[in-house]
A and B are shown apart, each in its own frame.
Chain A
Amino acid sequence: MAYVDSRAFLDAAVLARLSRLALSARGPMNGSVTGIHKSATRGSSVEFAEYRKYVPGDDIKHVDWQVYARTDRFYMKEFEADTNLRCTIVLDCSASMSFDAGHGSKFDYARRLAATLAYLLVHQGDSVGLLCFGDGTHHDIPPRHTPSHLKHIFDTLSDVTPGGKTEMVQTIHDLAERIQQRALVIVLSDCFTEIPPLLDCFQHMRFRKHDLAVFHLLDRQELNFDFDRPIRFVDIEGSFNMITDPSIIQSGYRKELDRYLEGLKLGCREFGVDYRRVVTDTDYEKVLAAFLLQRMGGGLSR
């Protein structure tokens, strides 16, 4: 773990504690090697799957002779296949992720989540890739399961900086088309874009039978909007600015934000997206522990 100690976004103690948990897929995956996840195809594990009729060309070693003795017909005994997981971590590197109200930016938080998840995945034998998108920033690392690949991911996470506008919708659409096999896609973003196109790309991802998990990162100040004097708000992704009295628009802001969050949550639930709203002043270990435990249980976040 020499490459872990030198990363500011990795905590060895947290990694050690979380290593006891496994990151499970919610559905069958199409992996390249044997792993701990259920495969979409039949395999040679010890777990019985089903019977099917013999067809010429089948390997006769899977014929269930006891059934043949009773029924005088050939039936093939099939077993579940265990495969590995191909995961792609999508990290939003737009400038809005650099918002920092005093206890760390959303991007730093997302980077810790991404690095920890990548470590856990590689160490359980799964492949992990990284896609960083932003205005002028684009890093696409395909999924691999080797430790050297993990180091490459960490190096990329160290080098990348947030900036520019959000191109999240198009990026996810492209990714959904590009990933050929069933995979787990983990999105780390503040999702500051319109809900309908965002849900469209989520739906696209689900249509391609990918397991999609979204970590919606929000700062506490963005949720509460607790300012006490007139402020000139400068758009962090552009030059637009507006001077307003927060006490005047506070209720309206909260109402708009609640409406947005509720719409996004309902949309994600409708399309089977594992949606998690994360406030960045929360301990990321707890967030990941809850995520892993719920995945092990096979459910969606509520």
Chain B
Amino acid sequence: MTFLNPILLWGLPAALLPVAIHLLNRLRFRSVKWAAMMFLISATRSSTRRARLRHYLILLCRVLVILFLVLALSRPTIGGWLGGTMAGAPDTVIILLDRSASMEATDLRRQCSKREHALRLFAQAAAESAATSRFVLIESVLRTPHEIATPAVLAGLALASATDTAADIPAMFQAALDYLIRNKTGRTELWVASDLQASNWLPQRRDWLQLGAQLAALPQDVRVRLLALSDGYQHNVAVGLQHAQRRVGATPQTLGLALDISSAVPRPDVFPMIITLDGTRSQVDLTLNTPTLHYQRNLELLAGKPAGGWGKVELPADDNLRDNSCYFVYGDDVPLAAVVVSDTPAVARYLRLAASPVSGRFGRACEVLAPREAATMAWQELALLIWQAPPPCRRDGAGDPDVRHRRWHGPLSSSREKRPCRGRRAVRGRAARPPVGRHRHGQHRQAVSRTGMGST
């Protein structure tokens, strides 16, 4: 419950005024000479108990009247599910679901994650208004409004499943605001389920002020109901991979792991950490006397093994299972092959130099092809395609959708003249995926790592 005029709550002690007056009256009495004492004594003897009880009940009623008056003047707004029940069913309910990794923390009492618990509560809360309300889901990954029949179906939706990502709550509110403006909904409630992580809510963002003003300026009645799942972790140790670096100069070859291990509370007790490298498990005993531990370890690679491999780091199970393990891979450097498709030799020369300044060095190589030779490209091995020619198109003159432009680089293309396509010049293939992970110049080998923990 919140109050719109909280300063009036200072008037709450006024509820004690009837009690104070009662006590003062008891202390300040006057004497009266009385003749009919026989009736007075009889009345005191016979009906004092009931009358006193009634008197105290009246006193209690007076206290409650003042109490309710002060509370009413403070303009309370009832939140939670009680407020929702009293306000009746809204026209539209927009569910803002925080799917960040921290929402997968398991509560031992409920035996489910916070996200699952939130979905369950949403389903229960919407049970009465499901027939009259429209439900829209905005989750933290896509932040796109999806209309759903009822929150009861959320448990089976991939859109509401667990992720390892972080959440941008202000952006989710902005998406909800855009939806409200665009669809002109009636009385609307925003149901927010989150564990109130500062990294997700971003309280320092200035968007909040603008969002608040925009929500308040909406013509329809918009209420925000927050399902705060802010119960902290009692026991949670997280591990994250900072980098995994293969060193080939040393004998034997080693793989250097840099891990970040953190805990909400210090763990002075010893707990094991299992490191698996190419199927070989090893255990390290750790203690956490500080909230964060930067742990480095060199793992010896077996001689005669293939050039690449993988491994993972595991911690014992705790409240949050999602941050107890991380994975890494390693392997030989893959030369980054680039192709410049151009029908202008001078331009092609500059583009080739930009893609690979020194051929054969820095792990980069570039080849110049004419547009008619593009069909011979090995797409699977390419890291970069620079197309400086009219785009290939189908026989009917439309743009050829088979050419797969990769977003991660984006083809550099320019068309100085438009020429109609006379034949099918579809170029099929698949560009080589660039290595995911850190790429450092000057290193002979490059490790490719992937962590299993999302940002929380």
Interface, chain A (partner B; CB < 8 A): 95-97, 99, 106, 190, 192-194, 219, 222, 227, 229-237, 240-245, 247-253, 255-257, 260
Q: Report the nearest B residue to A222, measured CB to CB.
A: B36
Contact A236 B34 (CB under 8 A): yes
Do A232 and B32 form a contact, CB below 8 Å, given A192-B38, A260-B39?
A: yes
Q: Report Cα–Cα, A71/B249, bound state, in Å.
A: 175
* Among B30, B38, B43: residue with most chain A CB under 10 A: B43
Do A231 and B48 form a contact, CB below 8 Å, given A247-B55, A249-B40, A253-B40?
A: no
Q: Report Cα–Cα, A227/B219, bound state, in Å.
A: 58
Contact A252 B43 (CB under 8 A): yes
Do A230 and B35 form a contact, CB below 8 Å, given A253-B40, A256-B42?
A: no
* B41 CB within 8 Å of chain A: yes
As a 0/1 sequence over residues 20 to 35 of chain B, the CB contacts with chain A under 8 angstroms (1 = contact) are 0000011011111111
Q: Report Cα–Cα, A202/B359, bound state, in Å.
A: 141
Contact A233 B34 (CB under 8 A): yes
Q: Which of B35-94 contact A (CB under 8 A)?
A: 35-44, 46-48, 51-52, 55
Residues of A near B55 (CB, < 8 A) are 245, 247-248
Contact A192 B35 (CB under 8 A): yes
Contact A255 B47 (CB under 8 A): yes
Q: Report Cα–Cα, A244/B40, bound state, in Å.
A: 10
Residues of A near B28 (CB, < 8 A) are 229-230
* Among A106, A232, A248, A260: residue with most chain B CB under 10 A: A248
Do A96 and B48 form a contact, CB below 8 Å, given A245-B55, A249-B43, A256-B42?
A: no
Q: Report the nearest A residue to B58, measured CB to CB.
A: A247
Residues of A near B46 (CB, < 8 A) are 252, 256
Do A99 and B35 form a contact, CB below 8 Å, given A242-B40, A248-B52, A255-B43?
A: yes
Contact B47 A232 (CB under 8 A): no
What 4 additional pairs, Cβ within 8 angstroms, besides A232-B32, A235-B37, A245-B25? A99-B34, A233-B31, A243-B29, A244-B40
Q: Report Cα–Cα, A182/B28, bound state, in Å.
A: 55
Q: Report the nearest B residue to A243, measured CB to CB.
A: B29
Residues of A near B38 (CB, < 8 A) are 192-194
Q: Count the B residues whose beta carbon is within 8 Å of the partner chain — how many?
A: 25
Contact A251 B51 (CB under 8 A): yes
Q: List 10 tightest A-B contacts by C-beta distance, closest first.
A: A252-B47, A252-B43, A96-B35, A253-B43, A99-B35, A230-B29, A233-B34, A248-B51, A256-B39, A256-B42
Contact A253 B39 (CB under 8 A): yes
Do A229 and B25 form a contact, CB below 8 Å, given A249-B43, A253-B39, A256-B43?
A: yes
Residues of A near B26 (CB, < 8 A) are 230, 245
Q: Report Cα–Cα, A249/B34, bound state, in Å.
A: 15
Partner of B32, one of A194, A234, A250, A257: A234
Q: Report Cα–Cα, A97/B35, bound state, in Å.
A: 8
Q: Report Cα–Cα, A120/B122, bound state, in Å.
A: 95
Q: Report Cα–Cα, A194/B32, bound state, in Å.
A: 23
Q: Report the minimal beta-carbon distance from B256 to chain A, rounded to whole angstroms.
A: 86
Q: Report the minimal beta-carbon distance from B38 to chain A, rounded to whole angstroms.
A: 6
Contact B44 A236 (CB under 8 A): no
Contact B44 A231 (CB under 8 A): no
* Among A219, A233, A236, A241: residue with most chain B CB under 10 A: A233
Residues of B near A260 (CB, < 8 A) are 39
Q: Report the minimal beta-carbon distance from B19 to chain A, rounded to whole angstroms.
A: 14
A-B contact list, 26 entries, CB within 8 Å: A95-B35, A96-B36, A99-B34, A190-B36, A192-B38, A229-B29, A229-B30, A230-B28, A232-B29, A232-B32, A235-B33, A235-B34, A236-B33, A236-B35, A240-B37, A242-B40, A244-B40, A245-B25, A248-B48, A249-B40, A251-B51, A252-B48, A253-B39, A255-B47, A256-B42, A256-B46
Residues of B near A251 (CB, < 8 A) are 47, 51
Q: Report the minimal beta-carbon distance from B43 to chain A, rounded to whole angstroms.
A: 3
Q: Report the minimal beta-carbon distance from B130 to chain A, rounded to whole angstroms.
A: 54
Q: Report Cα–Cα, A193/B30, bound state, in Å.
A: 26
Q: Report Cα–Cα, A106/B42, bound state, in Å.
A: 23
Contact B52 A233 (CB under 8 A): no
Q: Report the minimal beta-carbon distance from A215 to chain B, rounded to whole angstroms.
A: 16
Contact B35 A237 (CB under 8 A): yes
Q: Report the minimal beta-carbon distance from A240 to chain B, rounded to whole angstroms.
A: 7
Residues of A near B31 (CB, < 8 A) are 231-234, 241
Q: Report the minimal beta-carbon distance from A218 to chain B, rounded to whole angstroms.
A: 8
Partner of B33, one of A99, A190, A192, A245: A99
Contact B44 A252 (CB under 8 A): yes
Q: Report Cα–Cα, A298/B242, bound state, in Å.
A: 121
Contact A249 B44 (CB under 8 A): yes
Q: Report the minimal beta-carbon distance from A235 to chain B, rounded to whole angstroms.
A: 5
Residues of B near A194 (CB, < 8 A) are 38
Residues of B near A242 (CB, < 8 A) are 40-41, 44
Q: Report the nearest B residue to A227, measured CB to CB.
A: B32
Q: Which of B325-374 contact A (CB under 8 A)?
A: none
Q: Report Cα–Cα, A241/B55, bound state, in Å.
A: 22
Residues of B near A231 (CB, < 8 A) are 29-32
Contact A190 B52 (CB under 8 A): no
Partner of A249, one of B33, B37, B48: B48
Contact A233 B37 (CB under 8 A): yes
Q: Report the nearest A residue to B53, measured CB to CB.
A: A248
Contact B48 A233 (CB under 8 A): no
Residues of B near A240 (CB, < 8 A) are 37
Q: Report the minimal beta-carbon distance from B295 to chain A, rounded to whole angstroms.
A: 76
Q: Report the minimal beta-carbon distance from A270 to chain B, rounded to whole angstroms.
A: 22
Residues of A near B44 (CB, < 8 A) are 242, 244, 249, 252
